């Protein structure tokens, strides 16, 4: 049965599974700042192995993972190349500038991808007037580009340009498992050429808190200090890690269900007047569409909300809906019915 309120604002609204709640209650704990929390150590080892890296560090959030990740590659006064639609540039509160004295340099994102030639052109020379290019960041899946996926060849194209100039690549892989599931590949094929990767437990994987930053042992040692500076040294963090372990063990493969629901949602929405959306481009859990209806996105979102459908605004006339654990096909059908009622009107007698 469809729920009273269908919350498609984000996959971050997911609640922990019963197995996660049990694992949290029973977690073996210690002081993680002393490196003595067995659950954290286990999760970090699992994360490193899954990403094909030497080591991993539990951080509080994707934002902290990206910031610690970038700080650990750079020095004050460096410049970091990012996509103009990237989460790091648009939604991470200028943390790089504020905390790290780092300037971000944006190059265009097209369908989540950066053009290697643009990245090449943005790399600074040794000229005394220029900042040093400290890192190149990519994002997979790409949030603002409707959950677009970068495949291994696309990642390689960017990494090749960066590495040729001796510049490390940081992968914001908040939803990297969505990308791997959508492509049907081992996640390591997508992380192999990144020097560091952040992924999130608290999005589609439904754990309550936490992200992992992964890289070489020496890099993670540096990152551990930056995490402490940012107040991210947590003590009995095993209560977080325990849920993360369950997330990695049980919640990855089911992301395919979210992707199928997102495509079904996109196909239904694309048939409605006032919505401009190509469902073929929806390959993970995020559906973003332009609103051409005269009432505009803000009023449309309010009308959906009145009827029990929550979604997010992704731009002046753009709406975002995200499928996730806890959203069943019946909920998506109900969401489509609400959108139809608002955009087409309820037929007389159908109430
Ligand atoms: C691509 C991407 N990176 C990073 C983050 C930040 O994650 P958090 O909300 O855990 O800070 C998000 C959050 O939605 C995201 O979509």
Based on the domain organization, do 178 and 302 belong to the same domain? Answer: no
Confidence of residue 346 (pLDDT cuts 50, 70, 90): low
Mean pLDDT within 202-213: 98
Based on the domain organization, do 70 and 167 belong to the same domain? Answer: yes
Cα 57 from chain centroid (whole Å): 17
- Give 148's Cβ-side CA count (13 Å radius): 19
Its domain, for residue 331, covers: 6-13+254-344
Q: Which residues are bridge partners to 312 per DSSP?
A: 320
Based on the domain organization, do 153 and 276 belong to the same domain? Answer: no
Based on the domain organization, do 313 and 231 belong to the same domain? Answer: no
- Does residue 1 belong to any structural domain of this protein? no
Which SS3 state, helix, strand or coil, does residue 270 take? helix
Cα→Cα distances 24→16, 207, 249, Å: 10, 10, 15
Query: Could you tell me what percent of the chain has a pLDDT over 90?
Result: 97
Based on the domain organization, do 66 and 128 belong to the same domain? Answer: yes
CA of 42 to the centre of ligand 1 (A): 23
Q: Name the domain boundary from 250, 282, 316.
A: 250
- Does residue 145 belong to any structural domain of this protein? yes
Based on the domain organization, do 264 and 154 belong to the same domain? Answer: no
Tell whether ligand 1 has an atom less than 6 A from the beta carbon of residue 63.
yes
CATH number at residue 232: 3.40.640.10
Positive or negative, the CA dihedral 158, 163, 168, 174 is positive
Q: If you take atom 4 of ligand 1, which residue's CA is the nearest one?
A: 62
Q: Name the domain boundary from 193, 216, 250.
A: 250
Tell whether ligand 1 has an atom less than 6 A from the beta carbon of residue 200.
yes
- Looking from the CA of residue 141, the nearest atom of ligand 1 is 1
Mean pLDDT within 201-226: 98
Confidence of residue 3 (pLDDT cuts 50, 70, 90): confident
Based on the domain organization, do 91 and 130 belong to the same domain? Answer: yes
Tens of pLDDT, residue by residue over 215-259, are 999 999 999 999 999 999 999 999 999 999 999 999 999 999 999
Cα 63 from chain centroid (whole Å): 10
DSSP state of 198: E
CA of 26 to the centre of ligand 1 (A): 28
CA of 150 to the centre of ligand 1 (A): 17
Based on the domain organization, do 261 and 176 belong to the same domain? Answer: no
- Looking from the CA of residue 10, the nearest atom of ligand 1 is 14
CA of 184 to the centre of ligand 1 (A): 23
Tell whether ligand 1 has an atom less than 6 A from the beta carbon of residue 174.
yes
pLDDT at position 347 is 53
Tens of pLDDT, residue by residue over 260-279, are 999 999 999 999 999 999 99
- Cβ atoms 194, 171 nearer than 8 A: yes
Tens of pLDDT, residue by residue over 121-145, are 999 999 999 999 999 999 999 999 9
pLDDT at position 219 is 99
Query: Could you tell me what percent of the chain has a pLDDT over 70?
Result: 98
Cα–Cα distance measured from residue 65 to residue 58, given in angstroms and rounded to the nearest whole number: 8
Based on the domain organization, do 271 and 146 belong to the same domain? Answer: no
Domain count for the chain: 2
* pTM, rounded to two decimals: 0.97
Based on the domain organization, do 68 and 194 belong to the same domain? Answer: yes
Question: If you search the block for the tokens 């992707």, which residue do you land on?
Answer: 259
Tell whether ligand 1 has an atom less than 6 A from the beta carbon of residue 286.
no
- Looking from the CA of residue 92, the nearest atom of ligand 1 is 6
């Amino acid at each position: 049965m469809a729920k009273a309120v269908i919350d498609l604002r984000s996959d971050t609204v997911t609640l922990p599974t019963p197995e996660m709640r049990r694992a949290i209650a029973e977690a073996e704990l210690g002081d993680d700042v002393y490196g003595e929390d067995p659950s954290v150590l286990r999760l970090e080892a699992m994360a490193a192995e899954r990403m094909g890296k030497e080591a991993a560090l539990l951080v509080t959030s994707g934002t902290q993972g990206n910031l610690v990740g970038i700080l650990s590659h750079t020095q004050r006064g460096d410049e970091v190349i990012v996509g103009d639609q990237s989460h790091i540039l648009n939604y991470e509160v200028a943390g790089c500038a504020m905390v790290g004295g780092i300037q971000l340099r944006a190059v265009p994102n097209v369908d989540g991808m950066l053009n290697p030639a643009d990245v090449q052109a943005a790399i600074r020379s040794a000229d005394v007037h220029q900042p040093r290019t400290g890192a190149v960041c990519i994002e997979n899946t790409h949030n603002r580009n409707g959950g677009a996926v970068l495949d291994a060849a696309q990642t390689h194209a960017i990494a090749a340009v960066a590495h040729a100039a001796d510049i490390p690549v940081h992968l914001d892989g908040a939803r990297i498992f969505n990308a791997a599931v959508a492509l049907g590949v081992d996640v390591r094929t997508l992380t192999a050429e990144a020097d560091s990767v952040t992924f999130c437990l608290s999005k589609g994987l439904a754990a309550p808190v936490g992200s992992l930053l992964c890289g070489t042992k020496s890099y993670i040692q540096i990152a551990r200090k930056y995490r402490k500076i940012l107040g991210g040294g947590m003590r009995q963090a095993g209560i977080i890690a325990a849920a993360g372990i369950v997330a990695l063990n049980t919640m990855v493969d089911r992301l395919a269900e979210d992707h199928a629901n997102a495509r079904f949602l996109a196909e239904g929405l694309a048939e409605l007047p006032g919505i401009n959306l190509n469902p073929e481009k929806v390959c993970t859990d995020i559906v973003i569409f332009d609103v051409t209806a005269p009432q505009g996105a803000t009023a449309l979102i309010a009308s959906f909300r009145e009827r029990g459908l929550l979604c997010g605004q992704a731009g002046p006339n753009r709406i975002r809906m995200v499928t996730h654990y806890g959203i069943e096909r019946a909920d998506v059908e109900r969401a489509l019915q609400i959108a139809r009622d608002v955009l087409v009107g309820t037929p007389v007698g159908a109430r």
